[in-house]
Amino acid sequence: MKRYEDPAFQTRMRLRIDYNNMMALQLGDRGIADAELDALAPRLAAAAEALEANRSQMRWRDLPHNQNQIVEEIEKTAADIRLRCENFVVLGIGGSALGPIAVQQALSHLRYNDLPNEKRRGPRLFVIDNVDPESMAALLDVIDVQKTVFNVITKSGGTSETMSQLLIVSDILHRIYGEDISGHLIAITDEVRGNLIKIARLEQLTTFYVPDGVGGRFSELCPVGLLTAAVCGIDIRELLAGAAYMDEWCRERDVRKNPAYLLATLAYIAMQRGCNINVLMPYADSLKYISDWFAQLWAESLGKRVHRDGSPAHTGQTPVKALGVTDQHSQVQLYTEGPFDKVITFLGVDRYRTEVPIPKGYSHLPDVSFLCGHSLNELIQAEQRATEYAVMKSGHLSHTITLPEVNPFTIGELLYMFEVMTAFAGELLNINAFDQPGVEEGKNATYALLGKPGYDEKRAELAAQPERAPQYIIG
């Protein structure tokens, strides 16, 4: 039996949500009263009903359960890549990059790329999620292309940033290998739509698909995230098992017992009170990029101009990424003494994967030597508790999600919980959490500016913009 199949392991790895510091009992007037939560009960029940009724349209909810065959194929491809290359480079942006980065940071060695080859579980990983020319040039300076496999990922199959990266890489590959570049480039995209699938067929690339109904920011648990994770030696079956466990837990209709519904409800109440900033503050470097992944999920899903019926909405909560303890020395002053416009989610860990004692020394300096005999583990956890306390004492809303350990199972739980939480918040806000019309506008304007056929009207719209007034430009 795999450990993730063992009910005792699953129970030990269950996430913990402590929302005392959101509630009036702890926070006084600024907190949420139980009566306020209870009064929302019919609304919450209706939202839970709607989410379950629409479950079949949310194909990302099937991912923990329906990928046995695809996981086998991914593992086979990953094993081959691990054998024959030194570098694995992901080309993608948004949902096609943030998940792979977050999971790699969470579940691989924190200096993974710097480890000597024999100590690494797979090739070095680089994710290029921007079109900064200096980053592309820098990448090409540090990799040997002949010892590299590239993985281009785009759900839509047409995102300009990713397509330009692909054009650069495929040009280099064709110069080296001639016509057949199929051994050096893998595609992940929609099976039918977009241009990447056409290119993949033309170049006869190994291709994995983003299932229909799985949007970019909900795609980490499909091949988009699984291939990179498997290449880097992460147990993707355990990752999916963690997500499946959370899916089961998220079937609970009682909002106070369902972690995703509960967190979404608390965020919703906070938004109604004008707390339109959502800070995610992990106390673990391994979880640092979970905040980046979550920022896209929360911002793009909930930041909407209209309700489902077309009436004005302008909803959303601005996600802020913070890192404990680093940002205690940067942002916590604002969190304790600044405006009452935010909710802080602390992300803690019970057992870090290593223990680092603080040795004895400088005993003549009591202000230093009080640390001796403790460990960095005790220190980081004490600082988390102290910051939670300071934030609570200042009357600001916060809660804590704790991972018993950081491992594939708990990361699967966490990602899936955040996804359901986002969907439930969308339901409460009565908006479409699964589109991104604001992003599309920018994409279309870029196409128009760069002369993509079919965008003449947008080009004319941009050209009709008033000239930039020189009196408002300095320098």
Given a contact cutoff of 8 angstroms between Cβ atoms, the answer to whether 156 and 174 are in contact is no
Residues in the chain: 475
Q: Is the peptide bond between 306 and the residue preceding it cis, with omega within 30 degrees of 0?
A: no
Among 122, 216, 282, 426, binds ligand PA5 (CB under 6 A): 216
Q: Is residue 412 a contact point for ligand PA5 (CB under 6 A)? A: no
CB of 210 to ligand PA5, least distance (A): 8
CB of 81 to ligand PA5, least distance (A): 21
Residue 179 a catalytic site member: no
Residues contacting 7, CB < 8 A, separation 6+: none
Residue nearest to ligand PA5 (CB): 216
Nearer to ligand PA5 among residue 162 and residue 278 (C-beta):
162
Residues contacting 397, CB < 8 A, separation 6+: 21, 22, 27, 30, 31, 32, 266, 270, 275, 342, 343, 344
CB of 193 to ligand PA5, least distance (A): 10
Give the range of 76-84, 108-116, 209-217, 226-234 binding ligand PA5 by CB under 6 A: 209-217
Q: Which of residues 262-301 bind ligand PA5 (CB under 6 A)?
A: 300
Give the range of 211-219, 332-340, 347-355, 380-388 binding ligand PA5 by CB under 6 A: 211-219
> Strand 87-91's sheet: what is its strand order?
124-128, 87-91, 148-154, 185-189, 206-209
Q: Which of residues 108-147 bind ligand PA5 (CB under 6 A)?
A: none
CB of 221 to ligand PA5, least distance (A): 14
151: which DSSP letter? E
CB of 39 to ligand PA5, least distance (A): 34
**DSSP calls for 169-198:** HHHHHHHHHTT--TTTEEEEE-SSSSSHHH
Nearer to ligand PA5 among residue 156 and residue 331 (C-beta):
156
Q: Given 203, 220, 238, 300, which residue is catalytic?
A: 300
- Distance between first and last Cα of the chain: 67
Q: Is residue 422 a contact point for ligand PA5 (CB under 6 A)? A: no
How many residues bind to ligand PA5 according to rule CB under 6 A? Answer: 15
Nearer to ligand PA5 among residue 361 and residue 442 (C-beta):
442
Among 82, 124, 184, 217, binds ligand PA5 (CB under 6 A): 217
Give the range of 40-48, 87-95, 143-151, 319-327 binding ligand PA5 by CB under 6 A: 87-95
Q: Given 118, 134, 179, 329, which residue is catalytic?
A: 329
Question: Do β-strands 397-403 and 124-128 pair in parallel, antiparallel, or remain unpaired?
Answer: unpaired
Among 206, 384, 407, 436, binds ligand PA5 (CB under 6 A): 436
Among 95, 99, 303, 316, binds ligand PA5 (CB under 6 A): 95
CB of 302 to ligand PA5, least distance (A): 12
Nearest alpha carbon to residue 434 among 308, 327, 343, 335: 308
How far, rounded to the nearest angstrom, does the alpha carbon of residue 131 sit from its chain's CA centroid? 20
HEC profile of 84-149? HCCEEEEECCHHHCHHHHHHHHHHCCCCHHHCCHHHCCCCEEEEECCCCHHHHHHHHHHCCHHHEE
- Please report how many Cα atoms fall inside a 13 Å half-sphere around the Cα of residue 245, on the Cβ side: 26
**Angle between the 408-429 and 290-302 helix axes, to the nearest 10 degrees?**
20
The residues pairing with 345 across neighbouring beta strands, listed in sequence order, are 280, 399
Helix H segments across 250-338? 259-272, 290-302, 332-337
Query: Dmax over Cα atoms in the chain, in whole Å?
Result: 75
CA angle 272, 277, 283 (to 5 degrees): 125
CA–CA separation, 68 vs 237, rounded Å? 9
CB of 420 to ligand PA5, least distance (A): 16
Q: Given 252, 307, 383, 443, which residue is catalytic?
A: 443
Nearest alpha carbon to residue 225 among 239, 242, 212, 213: 239
Give the range of 50-58, 93-101, 235-243, 352-360 binding ligand PA5 by CB under 6 A: 93-101
Nearer to ligand PA5 among residue 339 and residue 437 (C-beta):
437
CA–CA separation, 21 vs 388, rounded Å? 8
Nearer to ligand PA5 among residue 155 and residue 288 (C-beta):
155
Residue 374 a catalytic site member: no
CB of 140 to ligand PA5, least distance (A): 22
Nearer to ligand PA5 among residue 95 and residue 122 (C-beta):
95
Check the CA dihedral 236-242-247-248 and report its sign: positive
Among 31, 99, 100, 215, binds ligand PA5 (CB under 6 A): 215
Residue 300 a catalytic site member: yes
Q: Tell me the three state secondary structure of residue 281.
A: strand
Q: Is residue 155 a contact point for ligand PA5 (CB under 6 A)? A: yes
Q: Is residue 94 a contact point for ligand PA5 (CB under 6 A)? A: yes
Nearer to ligand PA5 among residue 4 and residue 218 (C-beta):
218
Q: Is residue 156 a contact point for ligand PA5 (CB under 6 A)? A: yes
Q: Is residue 162 a contact point for ligand PA5 (CB under 6 A)? A: yes
Q: Is residue 96 a contact point for ligand PA5 (CB under 6 A)? A: yes
Q: Is residue 93 a contact point for ligand PA5 (CB under 6 A)? A: yes
Give the catalytic positions in this structure: 300, 329, 443
Q: Which residues bind ligand PA5 (CB under 6 A)?
A: 93-96, 154-156, 159, 162, 215-217, 300, 436, 439
